[in-house]
Structure 1
């Protein structure tokens, strides 16, 4: 590892926020490393925020039903070596409606690739994970649009659902966020039509083979946000996400919508924390639910993944920003900040240029590892039309360009975890020693 890379890895990217709208933007400083790496992030909040409460960690109203995943104390079921596991039973071919009818078990998820172990001398696939924070189907209908882009591009993705998007505003006080008053949130509750539309998209996305992960609930950042939460408070936040997904029928009163076609206790295996805050105390909480990965790390180079306390760590990554020595975190917010600062409505005359720079940044990162170490590439997004929608266009262009390429697999985080778990640990350790652009002789590198 080069000296400059060692120094750069010590420079932590600033915290990334994860759901938005045209609201107040705050925060804007990044650390600059010896490699002139710039990674700036912003966070957004709404007038719905209310941080006057104290340690409200117990959910009220409908509670999550987690058979086979949790005991009454919220501790995970144990498998071999005492590790948490998700219990599975053979499917008898019959649909099983669960709980109040909000979810159901319809068998193994369709359209899933088989995880295969690398053979000696084989070049690894180039994995790309496109992920979406919040996963609300709004008036712009970007959720459904990108499902179609994925179908066109032979891609599968991860949708990090904010659980409170399935909770009507009229029932907001069922949400008891840690360290905040009941019913408070830093993002807006969804309208009834948007809840209905989001349920439709979640159903279709899962059937397409996409992953439904967690973006937790109230999107609190900064003071009394994730960095300030204890492991027990994170457990409360996670339990409430399960509850909002498993009990949306009770909470909404909708009787004309079919159950979601999955058992959320089996499907939920990872998430991304709002603003990328709190990973230290979040991971023990996530592990107790049997989760397999966490995507809340603020950022790193494009390296082969490793684990934190037996949980896969999937960070945002530093990508080469065109026409500069900078590297920018692989999320739309960071490109936005480098182009229009704290404004989501910058100078329209610059949109074409900014679009080219953003698309170029994503493709630079892709080409670096595709022709180099083949480290998986992680890209984070929000369904937002900032600066005329250029960031959505850049992602679409990148997906259509990269995913069909030979040897490329655009997958979900869960699918990537499946593949990594199927590999020889010694092989993964050797891959982690490669710099992003380092292309070994694959025929002799992995023996």
Structure 2
């Protein structure tokens, strides 16, 4: 099947292609009898060196969004997202894929392009403002690249979004992403895409299954390292047709707006139990406020910190749900910092949030699909609500006809 696995074929409804007659991709498409124009019947279509493939519309997507009816309550959107999205043999990527399946949730995985580039090919990476092959997050082993490919494939087939976390994760010094120009961001993005689109050439694993998506079509947003450099990223992202960016630091829980024609979807300040200040809605920021920068703090703190992180996410959720219904954005890393308590907190928060009515656990891409389908006047009205502000007279009055 030219690198399309039996599992992928089955899940895409191409089971008839598994017989002896399925000797080519074109033959597979014909045997499957897929509807639509001829171009869509001849699926899957291998792209480039076979690292990626076009397999049609992404499975497990919600129905096409429609505008809110006059007076209708807006849904409570919650986006869980993952920076880097590499599987390092700890089982965290598959753990959260299983969690999402159990709760009909979708997420965004911001894949670092370097996680698909072997270290012996690192000189192919030319990071702006840094030496050739440099990376502040290192490179994965061959075994971990294979695991990452496996779970990225599964994630897309489950309906999750594959965004980008770019490549070398440079947060400090003169070569920091904070100082990159739009042209340098464009170079970084194109390199990230090339590492995803050419992993077969770079690894030599020509019998390994293709990714089931066209990354040029799929990549519509990302999050920068350390939430730095958005101002100069936006012109490059706009030129590439991106629809959103999730790199703003310190956003507030209000309905999003566009910046430079692109939806600005920031991590947000949320209540932090036991403190008067708010914490950014990301695992690392919980850690920074609990143990400084220590990822191996004494274990006797872990139970209290796990509960505090969980309750912080839930407090941010409840504040939005009970007032302005602004989307909640939660960021994570596949890391076992402080005994894995932030993974536990994210899991528990998702399980409990999923129990509430009118909640939609979505990817960033699915959220902007919904935003783009709304009446601009309704979005303007929603954006008028401040953090923790309830709609005057309830939603039926606030979003009545003639808003």
Please give the range of the TM-score, normalised by the shorter of the 2 chains: 0.7 to 0.9
1:204 has 2:154 as partner: yes
- Pick which of 342-351 and 200-209 moved more: 342-351
Equivalent residues in 2 for 1:255-294 (5 A)? 255-294=206-245
- Aligned equivalent of 1:418: 369
Secondary structure of the corresponding residue to residue 271 of structure 1: coil
Secondary structure of the corresponding residue to residue 352 of structure 1: helix
- Aligned equivalent of 2:142: 192
- Aligned equivalent of 1:97: 46
1:442 aligned to which of 383, 395, 399: 395
User: Structure 2 CA distance, aligned partners of 1:273 and 1:324?
Assistant: 28
Secondary structure of the corresponding residue to residue 111 of structure 1: coil
User: Structure 2 CA distance, aligned partners of 1:93 and 1:425?
Assistant: 39
**CA drift at 1:115:** 1.4
**CA drift at 1:191:** 0.3
Q: TM-score, normalised by structure 2?
A: 0.88
Superposed CA deviations along residues 244-282 of structure 1, whole A, max 9, x for unmatched, are 000000000002211100000000000000011110100
Structure number with the bigger relative contact order (C-alpha 8 A, sep ≥ 6) is 1
1:351 aligned to which of 277, 280, 302: 302
- Aligned equivalent of 1:171: 121
Equivalent residues in 2 for 1:333-412 (5 A)? 333-412=284-363
User: Structure 2 CA distance, aligned partners of 1:226 and 1:93?
Assistant: 42
- Aligned equivalent of 2:280: 329
- Aligned equivalent of 1:235: 186
RMSD of the TM alignment (CA)?
1.1
1:306 has 2:253 as partner: no
User: Structure 1 CA distance, aligned partners of 2:387 and 2:100?
Assistant: 26
- Aligned equivalent of 1:30: none
Change (3 A) 1:90 1:412: farther
Secondary structure of the corresponding residue to residue 40 of structure 2: coil
Unpaired stretches in structure 1, ≥5 consecutive residues: 1-88
**CA drift at 1:93:** 5.2
User: Structure 2 CA distance, aligned partners of 1:279 and 1:222?
Assistant: 15
**CA drift at 1:153:** 1.6
- Aligned equivalent of 2:171: 221
Secondary structure of the corresponding residue to residue 248 of structure 2: coil
User: Structure 2 CA distance, aligned partners of 1:91 and 1:413?
Assistant: 26
2:84 aligned to which of 117, 130, 134: 134
User: Structure 2 CA distance, aligned partners of 1:391 and 1:433?
Assistant: 33
User: Structure 1 CA distance, aligned partners of 2:199 and 2:101?
Assistant: 28
Equivalent residues of 2:252, 2:269 under 8 A apart: yes
User: Structure 2 CA distance, aligned partners of 1:382 and 1:193?
Assistant: 19
Equivalent residues of 1:132, 1:383 under 8 A apart: yes
Unpaired stretches in structure 2, ≥5 consecutive residues: 1-37
User: Structure 1 CA distance, aligned partners of 2:105 and 2:378?
Assistant: 26
